[in-house]
Amino acid sequence: MAQKAIIAEELKHKIGQEWLLGEFEIEKGMVQRFVRAIGDSNPRWETMAPPFFIVTVGGEQFGQQLAAMFPDGLLHGSTELECHQPVRPGDKITVTGKVLNVRERSQMAFVTFEITYTNQRQELVARCQQTMIGYQTEK
């Protein structure tokens, strides 16, 4: 309980601050690993990425940060993805994160992040709101 409250307080102070998750060059192999993991054999994905692929770009970095923010229990609440531009191998994607809001309910912390993806032409590729739920596990 105490731990959850500290996380929520720390994150509330970060609301609105943007940070860089990284810059990533999209390789064909990344897209192929994604479609194979889903089992999507659509030939269209040989030259472009499926729209939901973008959420995995910087996913490892975001996951590591989440694990540090929520060392106890963590579940995924929701995902809201807006797609603006298609992604193709060779694109260079810059990923930034931001805390949009923090709510506490029934001993759980609901934290909504906004992840923004832009390409090498400074075009907005996608924006995604991810709500994560931090909870206390019984010790």
Partner 1 sequence: MAEQVYYEDVTEESELPPLTKQPTTRQLVMWAGASGDYYAIHYDKDFAQSKGLPGVIVHGQLVASFLGQLLTDWIGKQGKLIKLACSYKGMNFPGETITCRGKVSKKYIEDGEHRVECHIWAENAKGEKTVIGKAIVALPARG
The residue written with tokens 């809001």 in the block is: 101
Q: What are the tokens at 19?
A: 């940070």
Q: Residue 20 interacts with partner 1 (CB under 8 A)?
A: no
In 3D space, the residue among 92, 94, 112 whose CA is nearest the CA of residue 102 turns out to be 112
Q: Residue 51 interacts with partner 1 (CB under 8 A)?
A: yes
Q: Residue 67 interacts with partner 1 (CB under 8 A)?
A: yes
Rounded to a whole number of angstroms, the minimum distance from the CB of residue 138 to partner 1 is: 7
Q: Residue 120 interacts with partner 1 (CB under 8 A)?
A: no
DSSP the chain: -HHHHHHHHHHHHTBT-EEEEEEEEPPHHHHHHHHHHHT---GGGGTS--GGGGGGTTHHHHHHHHHHH-SSEEEEEEEEEEE-S---TT-EEEEEEEEEEEEEETTEEEEEEEEEEE-TT--EEEEEEEEEEEEPPP-
Q: Residue 74 interacts with partner 1 (CB under 8 A)?
A: yes
Q: Residue 50 interacts with partner 1 (CB under 8 A)?
A: yes
Rounded to a whole number of angstroms, the minimum distance from the CB of residue 38 to partner 1 is: 5
**Residue of the chain from 13, 44, 88, 103 that contacts partner 1 (CB under 8 A):** 44
Question: Given the complex with partner 1, which of 25 and 80 has the nearer CB atom?
Answer: 80
Q: Residue 80 interacts with partner 1 (CB under 8 A)?
A: yes
Which parts of this chain interact with partner 1 (CB under 8 A)? 30, 33-34, 36-40, 42-44, 50-52, 55-56, 58-63, 66-67, 73-83, 135, 137-138
